[in-house]
């Protein structure tokens, strides 16, 4: 059975950039969600939280776990940069105080991975980020789910059943669904499209970015609809993405999440 590891990256307080309290909340909520039965019953030793890591640390961690399924999330500042002499763009993120233009391709596995980026993707002048990073480096600055999500709701699928058996069953099903994928490519899920900003749920002190929060809300809503059915089912990454897209049409219609490749999917929740 394939092994798995989750990498939760958040950079909510990068030097020279606006504070993003929602990014830290995203990290807290991902951690709680993944450990829940609904989120796949991940073990604590399978989850690594990396606040403002260096790109080298991320790549080293990925190399160590290259034979595993990777669930990677990033919450923080981001932007799009046009490649020289080309009409192609690359998504970059502000990873830490001194690395504020890291291409996601450099920290994202090419196979066996779900990567979720909750960040803005406005087309900007990357030199501004590089200047901030250089100045910062020279100066030497080197658990709840969300509103409407009660953590108690995630504790057990059926309180009359043995909890350890439930978790073991969920873990086995989650891993099996990963292995069932015939292509094993990488799913990339973006909170918005190019030239767009990603909003935060400012009116809710327990919620982070709109997209991340809605992904988890979608899983909860789906799970609630499964209560009258027998056995377990899988809620896919594409289903979670589609739920968030639909909800954002009313909450923040200027934000249009992106999913690539459209045909690839992995388990997001089991219920």
Using one digit for the tens of pLDDT, what is the confidence trace for 171-198? Answer: 999 999 999 887 789 999 999 999 999 9
Give the pTM. 0.86
Is-contact 229 238, C-beta < 8 A?
Answer: no
| Burial of residue 75, with CB atoms counted within 10 A of its CB: 0-12 exposed, 13-18 middle, 19 or more buried | buried
User: What's the Cα-to-Cα distance from 61 to each of 8, 110, 116, 137, 263, rounded to whole Å?
Assistant: 12, 15, 17, 23, 28
pLDDT digits over 225-251, tens only?
877 677 889 999 999 999 999 999 999
Eight-state DSSP code of residue 83:
P
Q: pLDDT value at position 202?
A: 82
Token pair in block for residue 258: 């992106």
- Summarize the confidence of residues 153-168 as an average pLDDT: 60
CA–CA separation, 224 and 69 (whole Å): 27
CA–CA separation, 194 and 37 (whole Å): 34
Q: What residues does each domain of the chain span?
A: 4-270
Q: Which fold has domain 4-270?
A: Rossmann fold (3.40.50)
Per DSSP bridges, beta strands 234-236 and 267-270 are antiparallel
CA–CA separation, 132 and 174 (whole Å): 42
Q: pLDDT value at position 227?
A: 73
**In the block, which residue shows the tokens 């030793």?**
45
Q: pLDDT value at position 112?
A: 94
């Amino acid at each position: 059975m394939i092994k798995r590891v989750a990498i939760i990256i958040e950079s909510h307080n990068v030097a020279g950039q606006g504070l993003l309290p929602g990014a830290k909340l995203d990290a807290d909520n991902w951690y709680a969600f993944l450990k829940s039965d609904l989120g796949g019953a991940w073990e604590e030793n399978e989850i690594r939280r990396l606040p403002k890591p260096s790109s080298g640390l991320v790549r080293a961690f990925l190399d160590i776990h290259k034979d595993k399924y990777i669930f990677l999330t990033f919450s923080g500042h981001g932007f799009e940069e046009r490649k020289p002499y080309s009409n192609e763009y690359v998504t970059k993120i502000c990873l830490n105080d001194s690395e504020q233009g890291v291409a996601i391709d450099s920290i994202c596995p090419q196979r066996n991975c779900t990567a979720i980026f909750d960040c803005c993707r406005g087309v900007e002048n990357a030199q501004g980020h590089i200047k901030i990073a250089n100045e910062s480096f020279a100066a030497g600055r080197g658990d709840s789910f969300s509103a409407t999500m009660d953590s108690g709701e995630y504790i057990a699928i059926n309180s009359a059943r043995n909890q350890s058996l439930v978790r073991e069953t969920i873990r086995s099903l989650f891993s099996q669904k990963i292995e069932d994928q015939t292509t094993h490519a990488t799913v990339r899920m973006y909170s918005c499209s190019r030239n767009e900003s990603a909003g935060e749920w400012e009116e809710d002190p327990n919620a982070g970015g709109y997209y991340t929060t809605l992904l988890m809300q979608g899983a909860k809503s789906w799970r609630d609809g499964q209560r009258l059915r027998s056995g377990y089912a899988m809620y896919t990454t594409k289903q979670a993405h589609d739920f968030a897209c639909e909800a954002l049409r009313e909450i923040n219609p200027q934000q249009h999440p992106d999913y690539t490749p459209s045909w690839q999917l992995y388990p997001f929740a089991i219920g």
